[in-house]
Structure 1
Amino acid sequence: MTILAALLLAAAPVAATHCTAPAPLAEPWTSWTQSGRAKAGVQAHGAPAMILGKPVTATLTPAAHVQFAVPPGKGAKDGHGGLFTLSLKQAARVGIALDGPAWVDVITGTQAIASVEHGHGPDCSGIRKIVWFDLPAGRHLVQIAGSKAADVRVMAADALANQLVG
Protein backbone atom coordinates (compact mmCIF):
# COMPACT_ATOMS: atom_id res chain seq x y z
CA MET A 1 0.00 0.00 0.00
CA THR A 2 2.85 2.41 0.83
CA ILE A 3 4.44 1.77 -2.57
CA LEU A 4 1.13 2.47 -4.35
CA ALA A 5 0.73 5.77 -2.46
CA ALA A 6 4.31 6.77 -3.32
CA LEU A 7 3.73 5.97 -7.01
CA LEU A 8 0.52 8.00 -7.05
CA LEU A 9 2.28 10.98 -5.45
CA ALA A 10 5.18 10.73 -7.89
CA ALA A 11 2.81 10.58 -10.86
CA ALA A 12 0.67 13.50 -9.68
CA PRO A 13 1.23 16.77 -11.57
CA VAL A 14 2.94 19.56 -9.67
CA ALA A 15 0.34 21.95 -8.31
CA ALA A 16 0.28 25.37 -9.97
CA THR A 17 0.61 26.99 -6.55
CA HIS A 18 3.92 25.26 -5.79
CA CYS A 19 6.57 27.90 -6.38
CA THR A 20 10.26 27.64 -5.69
CA ALA A 21 10.88 31.37 -6.14
CA PRO A 22 8.73 34.48 -6.62
CA ALA A 23 8.04 35.37 -10.21
CA PRO A 24 9.64 38.57 -11.54
CA LEU A 25 6.89 41.09 -12.15
CA ALA A 26 6.43 43.41 -15.09
CA GLU A 27 5.13 46.98 -14.91
CA PRO A 28 2.97 48.20 -13.35
CA TRP A 29 3.43 45.56 -10.61
CA THR A 30 7.22 45.72 -10.03
CA SER A 31 6.79 47.23 -6.55
CA TRP A 32 4.29 44.54 -5.40
CA THR A 33 6.76 42.98 -2.93
CA GLN A 34 7.71 46.26 -1.24
CA SER A 35 6.57 46.58 2.35
CA GLY A 36 4.12 48.98 3.82
CA ARG A 37 1.30 48.71 6.36
CA ALA A 38 -1.98 50.54 6.79
CA LYS A 39 -5.18 50.16 8.75
CA ALA A 40 -8.08 50.34 6.33
CA GLY A 41 -10.78 52.84 7.24
CA VAL A 42 -14.21 51.93 8.56
CA GLN A 43 -15.90 54.99 7.03
CA ALA A 44 -15.18 57.15 3.97
CA HIS A 45 -14.26 60.18 6.07
CA GLY A 46 -10.75 59.60 7.35
CA ALA A 47 -10.04 56.51 5.20
CA PRO A 48 -6.30 56.31 4.42
CA ALA A 49 -5.03 57.21 0.97
CA MET A 50 -3.97 54.51 -1.46
CA ILE A 51 -1.09 55.70 -3.65
CA LEU A 52 -0.64 54.35 -7.17
CA GLY A 53 2.26 51.90 -7.30
CA LYS A 54 2.64 51.61 -3.50
CA PRO A 55 1.45 48.29 -2.06
CA VAL A 56 0.38 47.95 1.56
CA THR A 57 -0.58 45.12 3.82
CA ALA A 58 -3.91 46.39 5.07
CA THR A 59 -5.40 45.49 8.42
CA LEU A 60 -9.12 45.05 7.90
CA THR A 61 -12.07 45.24 10.32
CA PRO A 62 -14.96 42.79 10.66
CA ALA A 63 -17.19 43.83 7.75
CA ALA A 64 -20.25 44.35 9.97
CA HIS A 65 -18.41 47.37 11.47
CA VAL A 66 -17.48 48.99 8.12
CA GLN A 67 -19.71 51.77 6.76
CA PHE A 68 -19.58 50.94 3.05
CA ALA A 69 -20.57 53.86 0.82
CA VAL A 70 -22.38 51.46 -1.53
CA PRO A 71 -23.32 47.88 -0.64
CA PRO A 72 -20.45 45.69 -1.84
CA GLY A 73 -21.04 43.31 -4.71
CA LYS A 74 -20.42 40.28 -2.50
CA GLY A 75 -19.66 39.34 1.07
CA ALA A 76 -20.59 42.59 2.83
CA LYS A 77 -21.68 40.85 6.02
CA ASP A 78 -19.05 38.11 5.98
CA GLY A 79 -15.39 38.31 6.82
CA HIS A 80 -13.41 41.53 6.96
CA GLY A 81 -13.43 44.75 5.00
CA GLY A 82 -12.10 48.27 4.82
CA LEU A 83 -11.92 51.50 2.87
CA PHE A 84 -9.21 53.53 1.14
CA THR A 85 -9.29 56.72 -0.88
CA LEU A 86 -7.62 56.96 -4.27
CA SER A 87 -7.02 60.31 -5.98
CA LEU A 88 -6.19 60.64 -9.67
CA LYS A 89 -4.92 63.78 -11.41
CA GLN A 90 -6.17 62.46 -14.75
CA ALA A 91 -8.41 59.70 -16.02
CA ALA A 92 -6.74 56.28 -16.01
CA ARG A 93 -7.29 52.55 -16.24
CA VAL A 94 -6.45 51.43 -12.70
CA GLY A 95 -5.93 47.88 -11.50
CA ILE A 96 -6.54 46.94 -7.89
CA ALA A 97 -4.52 43.84 -6.93
CA LEU A 98 -5.14 41.69 -3.86
CA ASP A 99 -3.16 38.77 -2.45
CA GLY A 100 -6.22 36.94 -1.16
CA PRO A 101 -9.86 36.31 -1.92
CA ALA A 102 -11.99 39.41 -1.33
CA TRP A 103 -14.41 41.62 -3.19
CA VAL A 104 -13.22 45.04 -4.38
CA ASP A 105 -15.36 47.95 -5.52
CA VAL A 106 -14.44 51.49 -6.56
CA ILE A 107 -16.96 54.21 -5.76
CA THR A 108 -16.98 57.62 -7.46
CA GLY A 109 -19.38 60.04 -5.83
CA THR A 110 -22.28 57.75 -4.90
CA GLN A 111 -21.91 55.29 -7.76
CA ALA A 112 -20.02 52.01 -7.93
CA ILE A 113 -17.87 51.95 -11.07
CA ALA A 114 -18.26 48.79 -13.14
CA SER A 115 -15.04 46.84 -13.60
CA VAL A 116 -13.78 46.54 -17.17
CA GLU A 117 -11.59 43.47 -16.67
CA HIS A 118 -10.50 41.06 -13.98
CA GLY A 119 -8.16 38.14 -13.67
CA HIS A 120 -5.34 36.56 -11.74
CA GLY A 121 -1.84 37.87 -11.25
CA PRO A 122 1.14 36.05 -12.77
CA ASP A 123 1.85 32.57 -11.38
CA CYS A 124 4.04 32.63 -8.25
CA SER A 125 3.71 36.43 -7.91
CA GLY A 126 1.60 36.52 -4.78
CA ILE A 127 -1.09 38.48 -6.66
CA ARG A 128 -4.30 36.46 -6.42
CA LYS A 129 -6.54 38.81 -8.39
CA ILE A 130 -6.50 42.09 -10.29
CA VAL A 131 -9.67 44.05 -11.00
CA TRP A 132 -9.41 46.86 -13.57
CA PHE A 133 -11.50 50.04 -13.61
CA ASP A 134 -11.62 52.99 -16.05
CA LEU A 135 -11.68 55.91 -13.62
CA PRO A 136 -12.12 59.63 -14.20
CA ALA A 137 -9.85 62.19 -12.57
CA GLY A 138 -10.79 62.94 -8.99
CA ARG A 139 -11.23 61.25 -5.64
CA HIS A 140 -12.51 57.68 -5.41
CA LEU A 141 -13.28 55.26 -2.60
CA VAL A 142 -11.87 51.72 -2.76
CA GLN A 143 -13.96 49.21 -0.81
CA ILE A 144 -12.64 45.79 0.17
CA ALA A 145 -15.20 43.30 1.50
CA GLY A 146 -15.59 39.62 2.22
CA SER A 147 -11.97 38.85 3.11
CA LYS A 148 -11.66 35.81 5.37
CA ALA A 149 -8.24 37.10 6.45
CA ALA A 150 -7.90 40.15 8.70
CA ASP A 151 -4.88 41.30 6.62
CA VAL A 152 -4.69 41.63 2.84
CA ARG A 153 -1.94 43.01 0.60
CA VAL A 154 -3.45 45.54 -1.78
CA MET A 155 -2.04 47.76 -4.51
CA ALA A 156 -3.48 50.16 -7.07
CA ALA A 157 -1.61 50.63 -10.34
CA ASP A 158 -2.07 52.70 -13.47
CA ALA A 159 -2.11 50.47 -16.55
CA LEU A 160 0.14 52.97 -18.35
CA ALA A 161 2.60 53.48 -15.45
CA ASN A 162 6.20 53.79 -16.53
CA GLN A 163 5.50 52.97 -20.16
CA LEU A 164 7.52 54.86 -22.72
CA VAL A 165 5.63 57.28 -24.91
CA GLY A 166 6.82 56.99 -28.49
Structure 2
Amino acid sequence: MITLAALLLAAANPVCAAPAPLAEPWTSWRQSGQAKAGILAQGAPALILGKPLTADLTPAAHVQFPVVLGKGAKEGHGGLFSLSLKQAARVGIALSGPAWVDVVTGNAVVASVAHGHGPDCSGIRKIVWFDLPAGRHIVQVAGAKDRSIHIMAADATANQPL
Protein backbone atom coordinates (compact mmCIF):
# COMPACT_ATOMS: atom_id res chain seq x y z
CA MET A 1 0.00 0.00 0.00
CA ILE A 2 1.39 3.40 -0.98
CA THR A 3 1.26 5.93 1.81
CA LEU A 4 0.61 9.64 1.48
CA ALA A 5 4.14 10.32 2.73
CA ALA A 6 5.61 8.14 -0.04
CA LEU A 7 3.57 9.99 -2.68
CA LEU A 8 4.69 13.38 -1.33
CA LEU A 9 8.32 12.25 -1.25
CA ALA A 10 8.09 11.02 -4.84
CA ALA A 11 6.57 14.33 -5.94
CA ALA A 12 9.35 16.27 -4.17
CA ASN A 13 12.10 14.10 -5.70
CA PRO A 14 11.00 13.12 -9.21
CA VAL A 15 12.78 10.29 -11.01
CA CYS A 16 14.11 11.84 -14.19
CA ALA A 17 14.25 9.74 -17.33
CA ALA A 18 15.56 12.71 -19.32
CA PRO A 19 16.49 16.32 -18.58
CA ALA A 20 13.56 18.72 -18.66
CA PRO A 21 13.50 21.27 -21.48
CA LEU A 22 14.21 24.76 -20.23
CA ALA A 23 12.51 28.00 -21.21
CA GLU A 24 14.12 31.43 -21.42
CA PRO A 25 16.10 32.78 -19.74
CA TRP A 26 17.50 29.38 -18.65
CA THR A 27 18.07 27.69 -22.03
CA SER A 28 21.88 27.79 -21.63
CA TRP A 29 21.81 26.27 -18.09
CA ARG A 30 23.36 22.97 -19.23
CA GLN A 31 26.36 24.67 -20.84
CA SER A 32 29.23 25.40 -18.52
CA GLY A 33 32.32 27.41 -18.04
CA GLN A 34 34.64 26.68 -15.12
CA ALA A 35 35.74 28.99 -12.34
CA LYS A 36 37.04 29.06 -8.81
CA ALA A 37 34.77 31.24 -6.68
CA GLY A 38 36.57 34.15 -5.06
CA ILE A 39 37.43 34.38 -1.38
CA LEU A 40 37.67 38.19 -1.65
CA ALA A 41 35.27 40.57 -3.42
CA GLN A 42 38.22 42.10 -5.28
CA GLY A 43 39.14 39.74 -8.09
CA ALA A 44 36.02 37.57 -7.77
CA PRO A 45 35.22 35.84 -11.08
CA ALA A 46 32.53 37.47 -13.18
CA LEU A 47 29.07 36.07 -13.71
CA ILE A 48 27.90 37.05 -17.18
CA LEU A 49 24.16 37.09 -17.79
CA GLY A 50 23.09 33.89 -19.55
CA LYS A 51 26.48 32.15 -19.13
CA PRO A 52 26.49 29.39 -16.48
CA LEU A 53 29.56 28.36 -14.51
CA THR A 54 30.53 25.29 -12.57
CA ALA A 55 32.44 26.84 -9.70
CA ASP A 56 34.77 25.34 -7.14
CA LEU A 57 33.93 26.65 -3.66
CA THR A 58 36.05 27.17 -0.54
CA PRO A 59 35.17 26.29 3.06
CA ALA A 60 32.90 29.23 3.97
CA ALA A 61 34.92 30.06 7.09
CA HIS A 62 37.80 31.10 4.76
CA VAL A 63 35.73 33.42 2.55
CA GLN A 64 35.73 37.14 3.37
CA PHE A 65 32.06 37.84 2.70
CA PRO A 66 31.40 41.58 2.22
CA VAL A 67 28.26 41.38 4.38
CA VAL A 68 27.64 39.35 7.52
CA LEU A 69 25.89 36.09 6.73
CA GLY A 70 22.72 34.74 8.29
CA LYS A 71 22.61 31.89 10.78
CA GLY A 72 24.18 28.69 9.45
CA ALA A 73 25.53 30.22 6.26
CA LYS A 74 29.18 30.13 7.48
CA GLU A 75 28.98 26.34 7.52
CA GLY A 76 29.82 24.31 4.43
CA HIS A 77 31.35 25.93 1.36
CA GLY A 78 31.01 29.31 -0.29
CA GLY A 79 32.47 31.88 -2.60
CA LEU A 80 32.09 35.24 -4.27
CA PHE A 81 31.30 36.34 -7.83
CA SER A 82 31.03 39.76 -9.44
CA LEU A 83 28.09 40.77 -11.60
CA SER A 84 28.14 43.98 -13.65
CA LEU A 85 25.03 45.43 -15.26
CA LYS A 86 24.90 48.18 -17.88
CA GLN A 87 21.30 48.97 -16.93
CA ALA A 88 18.90 48.12 -14.13
CA ALA A 89 17.36 44.65 -14.43
CA ARG A 90 15.48 41.92 -12.61
CA VAL A 91 18.13 39.22 -12.32
CA GLY A 92 17.65 35.61 -11.30
CA ILE A 93 20.49 33.68 -9.70
CA ALA A 94 20.08 29.92 -10.20
CA LEU A 95 21.97 27.31 -8.20
CA SER A 96 22.29 23.56 -8.71
CA GLY A 97 22.43 22.72 -5.02
CA PRO A 98 21.33 23.89 -1.61
CA ALA A 99 23.08 27.11 -0.56
CA TRP A 100 22.39 30.67 0.50
CA VAL A 101 22.71 33.29 -2.23
CA ASP A 102 22.81 37.03 -1.61
CA VAL A 103 23.57 40.00 -3.84
CA VAL A 104 25.53 42.85 -2.29
CA THR A 105 25.50 46.34 -3.78
CA GLY A 106 27.89 48.75 -2.08
CA ASN A 107 27.81 47.65 1.57
CA ALA A 108 24.23 46.41 1.66
CA VAL A 109 22.45 43.17 0.87
CA VAL A 110 19.79 43.63 -1.80
CA ALA A 111 16.44 42.17 -0.74
CA SER A 112 15.21 39.38 -2.98
CA VAL A 113 11.90 39.96 -4.76
CA ALA A 114 11.00 36.32 -5.47
CA HIS A 115 12.39 32.83 -5.13
CA GLY A 116 11.48 29.32 -6.14
CA HIS A 117 12.68 26.04 -7.57
CA GLY A 118 13.70 25.32 -11.12
CA PRO A 119 11.62 22.95 -13.24
CA ASP A 120 11.65 19.29 -12.16
CA CYS A 121 14.55 17.36 -13.72
CA SER A 122 16.26 20.57 -14.89
CA GLY A 123 19.22 20.53 -12.50
CA ILE A 124 18.17 23.94 -11.15
CA ARG A 125 17.52 23.55 -7.44
CA LYS A 126 16.65 27.17 -6.69
CA ILE A 127 16.28 30.55 -8.33
CA VAL A 128 16.37 33.79 -6.35
CA TRP A 129 15.32 37.04 -8.10
CA PHE A 130 16.67 40.51 -7.38
CA ASP A 131 15.84 43.96 -8.79
CA LEU A 132 19.31 45.39 -9.34
CA PRO A 133 20.48 48.84 -10.40
CA ALA A 134 23.14 49.34 -13.05
CA GLY A 135 26.67 48.89 -11.73
CA ARG A 136 28.85 46.28 -10.05
CA HIS A 137 27.43 43.80 -7.56
CA ILE A 138 28.87 40.93 -5.55
CA VAL A 139 27.02 37.59 -5.49
CA GLN A 140 27.79 35.63 -2.33
CA VAL A 141 27.13 31.90 -2.14
CA ALA A 142 27.37 30.35 1.31
CA GLY A 143 26.36 27.25 3.22
CA ALA A 144 26.75 24.89 0.25
CA LYS A 145 27.14 21.25 1.20
CA ASP A 146 29.15 20.38 -1.91
CA ARG A 147 32.58 21.72 -2.92
CA SER A 148 31.27 22.89 -6.28
CA ILE A 149 28.06 24.40 -7.57
CA HIS A 150 26.54 25.23 -10.94
CA ILE A 151 25.50 28.89 -10.96
CA MET A 152 23.93 31.19 -13.52
CA ALA A 153 22.66 34.77 -13.56
CA ALA A 154 19.89 35.62 -16.00
CA ASP A 155 17.95 38.73 -16.95
CA ALA A 156 14.20 38.16 -16.56
CA THR A 157 13.61 39.92 -19.87
CA ALA A 158 16.20 37.97 -21.87
CA ASN A 159 14.88 37.10 -25.30
CA GLN A 160 11.35 38.19 -24.40
CA PRO A 161 9.24 39.83 -27.12
CA LEU A 162 9.07 43.63 -26.94
Asked if 1:48 corresponds to 2:45, the answer is yes
Question: Which residue number in structure 1 is paired with residue 26 of structure 2?
Answer: 29
SS of equivalent to 1:57: strand
Q: Give the aligned partner of residue 80 of structure 1.
A: 77
Q: Partners in 2 of 1:8 and 1:162 — Cα distance? A: 44
CA–CA separation in structure 2 for the residues paired with 1:116 and 1:35: 26
1:17-166 correspondence to structure 2 within 5 Å: 17-165=14-162
Partner amino acid, structure 1, of 2:126:
K
Query: Within 1, Cα distance between the matches of 2:32 and 2:128?
Result: 21
Q: TM-score, normalised by structure 1?
A: 0.90
Q: Tell me, in whole angstroms, the C-alpha distance in 1 between the residues paired with 2:37 and 2:121.
A: 26
Task: Determine the C-alpha separation between the residues in 1 that align with 2:21 and 2:86.
Answer: 29
Take 2:35 and 2:21, find their aligned partners in 1: how far apart are those partners? 25
Structure 2: give runs of 5+ residues left out of the alignment.
Answer: none
Aligned Cα root-mean-square deviation (Å): 1.5
Per-residue deviation at 1:15? Answer: 1.9
Distance 1:73 1:159 in 2: 26
* Cα deviation 1:28-86 (Å, max 9, x = unaligned): 00000002111000000110100000001110000000000001234332000000000
Distance (whole Å) between structure 2 residues aligned to residue 74 and residue 160 of structure 1: 33
Unaligned runs of 5+ in 1: 1-6
Secondary structure at the aligned position of 2:10 is classed as: coil
Distance 1:94 1:140 in 2: 11
Between the aligned partners of 1:27 and 1:74, the Cα distance in structure 2 is 33
CA contact (8 A) 1:73 1:105 kept: no
In 2, Cα distance between equivalents of 1:161 and 1:105: 21
Q: Is the 8 A contact 1:64 1:78 kept in 2?
A: yes
Give the aligned residue type for 2:141: I
What is the count of residue pairs matched by the alignment? 157
Give aligned-pair identity as a percent.
75
Structure 1 letter corresponding to 2:114? E
Q: Over alpha carbons, which structure has the higher Rg? A: 1
Amino acid at match of 1:50: L
